[in-house]
Structure 1
Amino acid sequence: MKSQRSFSETETGKLYLVPTPIGNLEDMTFRAVRMLKEADLIAAEDTRNTQKLLNHFDIHTPQISFHEHNRNERAEQLIQKLLDGETIAQVSDAGMPSISDPGYELTLAAIEHGISVVPLPGPNAGLTALIASGLDPQPFYFYGFLPRKKKEQAAELEELNRRRETFILYESPHRLKTVLQAMRKAFGPERKIVLAREVTKRFEEFLRGTLEEAVAWSKDNEIRGEFCIIVEGNDNPEEQVEANDWSALSVKEHVEQLMNEKNLSSKDAIKEVAKLREQNKRDIYAEYHGI
């Protein structure tokens, strides 16, 4: 085991992981402000966005960009600065570095080079939403953003459906409607869900109900703001997965499975598959017959 004593003197510099407010500037801690002032350099996800924060707290420390597109090459530069004795504070645009934001690669590289990595506590959208959700907060599972591609997303939702813990997702407003529909399909309409919108910001809102109600809300309302999605865990994952074991089947395979298992005609099987998959019966018919 390798030991790191965060507050001991070291020959190298130190990497400080500094959380920043997720919407309300009053959530910035005294220690976070002090560390940003005392650091030799701030590694920021977006220097323009971070500059607004620095201006508000009268911080004049120079910045360097560190984001998903330059993280590998930039990490090498930052590690060298740390080895030369500089103190670096790493921040993302909002919240905790490395949590659905850049930071992990730099942290790992620092540890591999024997450089102390010192985390500061602070704002996190997922945990903030979780404790106000009304769903059981312990144990919980943090996932973050789902994949964008439909097939990959369905596979991940199938895995999440096996979890008994309450779990946390992040989602953007323009994808929320389709993600909720995919979740209803994967988890069932009665699963409890909480949509936490614009957490800590002026228009903070918590929408609590079932997935069926959430889908209905998304259809009837203009969706704005960033969302944390808190989802009730599955008390009977084995039973639910067995009921949805068709998710990995093609339409043709699904129709044939029902025909064999329930002794249905192709017409009746197509009708049931359309209902289960929440698709138009004509589309299922066309795909089954290769039209």
Structure 2
Amino acid sequence: MKTGQKVTAFIVGLAAVFAISVWIGNAVSPQEAAMTAAAQELPGGLQSTQDGYTLALDNSIATAKPEVPLKFRIMSPTGAPVKRYVETHEKLLHLIVVRNDLADFQHVHPTLDAEGTWSATLNLARAGDYRVFADFMPTGGPALTLGANLHVAGPYDPQPLPPASQTAEVDDHMVTLRGTPRANEESMLTLSVSLDGKPVDDLQPYLGAYGHLVAVRASDLAYLHVHPMGEPGDGTTASGPEIGFHTTFPSAGAYRLFLDFQHRDVVRTAAFTVNVSDAVQTSAPAPSGGGGHQH
């Protein structure tokens, strides 16, 4: 082939590639591209290391008993323990511990010493494998949720995931869930608290809110920490009976929801199973948020 013919063929080939690229670009809508991007972003808690920060448990094996000390550190990108944190929701770090079958849930707030070691006491009377989530923001760093495995020795009786329900009872309080969660789009969930059949309108602030909601995906323990709309004392947010949450579930499937709320000076936790279905996509989905944090 002569040089001129080679150049002509090369130009024609480039034009064909360009045309195909344009066609593919038009074929993939902005909504589909946004959904793909959201799907590719990992929820919180699936990694022990993210953005250079690492959750390091001093000991990942324990024996089942009601009071088990747990110590851990958050290692910085330089390899040194993080010693300075930004307070979020009135605490420097929130520690969430769930058994892998989601039959046990704890939300505790460890203490930090001068060397960067966190200490907490957990109720691990029930043996099994647990996932430990550290929800925090280091000074000068991003908001993160890191996860690590904790193995608790002893007789283990794993439980099936409870069926989906719109009601949960805890300490004579009935909590009712309303809303239809869908994957990859913002969902509005409303939880209403009643006691002895009467609406509770005197919920007390707990960690700067009338309620805190944690969602854990049953299949792999992906973590979402969702905070309610409004806050105590803002002039518009009522102290019950309803607590509203905006959240975006990263995929379809079964999730376990844990609602912490305070009433009559006692913090209680109501638990629900919800089945999240795929969204009927008509607009770009809201991003799921980095590190499992949603507001």
Q: TM-score, normalising length from structure 1?
A: 0.24
Higher relative contact order (CA 8 A, sep 6+): 2
Q: Which has the higher helix share?
A: 1
Higher strand share: 2
TM-score (norm 2): 0.24
